[in-house]
């Protein structure tokens, strides 16, 4: 009887231990960020530290990624959280190219900062507007990156596509800068903050021209995707840039699987709102972010947990 009693006691203790372990296991998350060397990867690390510190029992693995592939990753369950760009995330919501179906499992958590689309040409390439790039060599990001998708949209409103370029290269920022420095490409497109370190690197070796997107092209782009917004790259942002340049861009935001528990996402959103300063130390564009900014509607349905926090915080 003693042995039976000991067995039952041990079994009961095991069941209790497993019961307490289950919630912790349920809060082991994966977050898709950006390529190593970009701003998203370290920003993901900062968010990891904030979440693990603020929510006992959670652990998060930070993975590399890209704007479009992150949305697909969250949709398919490869990741629980990820960074997205409003313009490509809206494509997912609507189920239009490059997405094969509507991303119904992708929910909005927080809007973080604005990214500027740059179309940068060598000053001696004779490219004053993007339509002048016809027959020239273009370099941009790899497919799966929002910057590459935006490049195709930008070319489209100017009556161009990749087939009308002499050559198109898909690679890292470093590769693109090297190609322009060597004269193997004449125009470089990317999406990032201002000033962009890659553009500054290029401008240290070659004279450049930052191309403008006037209102008619901006309106045409909004017909393609309502996630586009316009901004000014102020004069002096880059060497020899003597006037303001209007461009297009979109918001970087944090997305989550709609299947994540409401209470967990509520706590994540609250923790981020309380630690904006830490995030701003990693990406300066995040500095000054308010809860109202975080709650900005960019066309992706809110996760119920995030929505609950923003309503409690009277941010919406």
pLDDT in tens, 51-94: 999 999 999 999 999 999 999 999 999 999 999 999 999 999 99
Selecting from 3.40.50.970, 2.20.28.90, 2.40.240.20, 3.40.190.10, what CATH number does the domain 115-250 have? Answer: 3.40.190.10
With 0-12 / 13-18 / 19 or more C-beta atoms within 10 angstroms meaning exposed / middle / buried, residue 261 is middle
Name the residue with higher pLDDT: 43 or 9.
43
Q: How far apart are the first and last CA of the chain?
A: 64
Name the residue with higher pLDDT: 38 or 88.
88
CB-CB contact of 60 with 52 (8 Å) = yes
Answer yes or no: is pLDDT of 21 > 80. Answer: no
DSSP code for 164: G
Within 10 angstroms of residue 240's Cβ, the number of other Cβ atoms is 11
Answer yes or no: is pLDDT of 300 > 90. Answer: yes
What is the reported pTM? 0.79
Q: Can you tell me whether residue 212 is helix, strand or coil?
A: coil
Confidence grade of residue 129 (pLDDT, cut at 50, 70, 90):
very high
Q: Which residues contact 144 (CB under 8 A, 6 or more apart)?
A: 66, 67, 68, 69
Mean pLDDT in the chain?
90
Confidence grade of residue 227 (pLDDT, cut at 50, 70, 90):
confident
Q: Can you tell me whether residue 135 is helix, strand or coil?
A: coil
Q: What is the residue whose two structure tokens read 């919501």?
A: 93
> Looking at the DSSP assignment, which residues form a beta bridge with residue 33?
none
3-state helix, strand, coil in the chain (%, to 5): 45, 20, 35
CB-CB contact of 44 with 254 (8 Å) = no
Answer yes or no: is pLDDT of 145 > 60. Answer: yes
Give dist(CA 214, CA 256) in Å, integer: 34
Give dist(CA 82, CA 88) in Å, integer: 13
Q: At what angle do helices 215-224 and 146-157 cross, to 10 degrees?
A: 120
Give dist(CA 268, CA 107) in Å, integer: 13
Which of 202, 210, 198 minimizes the C-alpha distance to 183? Answer: 202
Q: Calculate the dihedral angle through the C-alpha atoms of 109, 275, 66, 45, rounding to the nearest 10 degrees.
A: -130
Domain with CATH 3.40.190.10 in the chain: 2-113+252-312, 115-250
The average pLDDT across 36-65 equals 92
Answer yes or no: is pLDDT of 305 > 60. Answer: yes
The average pLDDT across 159-179 equals 95
Confidence grade of residue 122 (pLDDT, cut at 50, 70, 90):
very high
Within 10 angstroms of residue 3's Cβ, the number of other Cβ atoms is 7
**CATH assignment of 2-113+252-312?**
3.40.190.10
| Percent with pLDDT over 90 in the chain | 78
CB-CB contact of 140 with 186 (8 Å) = no
Which region, left, alpha or beta, applies to residue 95 given φ > 0 means left and ψ of -120 to 50 means alpha? Answer: left
């Amino acid at each position: 009887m003693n042995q039976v009693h000991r067995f039952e006691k041990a079994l009961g203790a095991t069941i209790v231990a497993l019961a307490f372990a289950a919630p912790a296991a349920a809060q082991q998350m994966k977050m898709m960020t950006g390529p190593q060397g970009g701003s998203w990867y370290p920003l993901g690390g900062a968010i990891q530290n904030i979440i693990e510190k603020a929510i006992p029992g959670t652990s998060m693995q930070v993975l590399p990624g890209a704007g479009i592939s992150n949305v697909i990753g969250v949709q398919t369950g490869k990741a629980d959280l990820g960074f997205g760009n409003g313009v490509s995330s809206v494509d997912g919501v609507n189920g239009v190219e490059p997405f094969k179906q509507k991303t119904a499992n992708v929910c909005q958590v927080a809007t973080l900062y604005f990214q500027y689309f740059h179309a940068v040409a060598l000053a001696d390439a004779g490219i004053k507007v993007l339509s002048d790039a016809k027959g020239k060599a273009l370099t941009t990001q790899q497919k799966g990156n929002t910057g590459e998708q935006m490049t195709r949209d930008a070319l489209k409103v100017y009556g161009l596509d990749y087939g009308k370029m002499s050559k198109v290269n898909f690679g890292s920022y470093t590769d693109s800068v090297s190609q322009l420095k060597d004269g193997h490409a004449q125009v470089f497109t990317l999406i990032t903050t201002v000033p962009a370190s890659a553009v500054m690197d290029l401008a240290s070796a070659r004279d450049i021209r930052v191309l403008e997107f006037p209102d008619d092209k901006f309106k045409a782009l909004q017909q393609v995707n309502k996630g586009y917004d316009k901004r000014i790259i102020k004069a002096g942002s880059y060497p020899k840039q003597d006037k303001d340049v209007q461009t297009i861009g979109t918001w970087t935001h944090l997305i989550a699987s709609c299947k994540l528990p409401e209470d967990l996402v509520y706590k994540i959103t609250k923790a981020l709102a309380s630690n904006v300063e830490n995030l701003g130390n990693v990406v300066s564009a995040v500095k000054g972010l308010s809860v109202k900014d975080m709650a900005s509607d960019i066309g992706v349905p809110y996760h119920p947990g995030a929505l609950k926090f923003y309503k409690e915080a009277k941010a919406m």
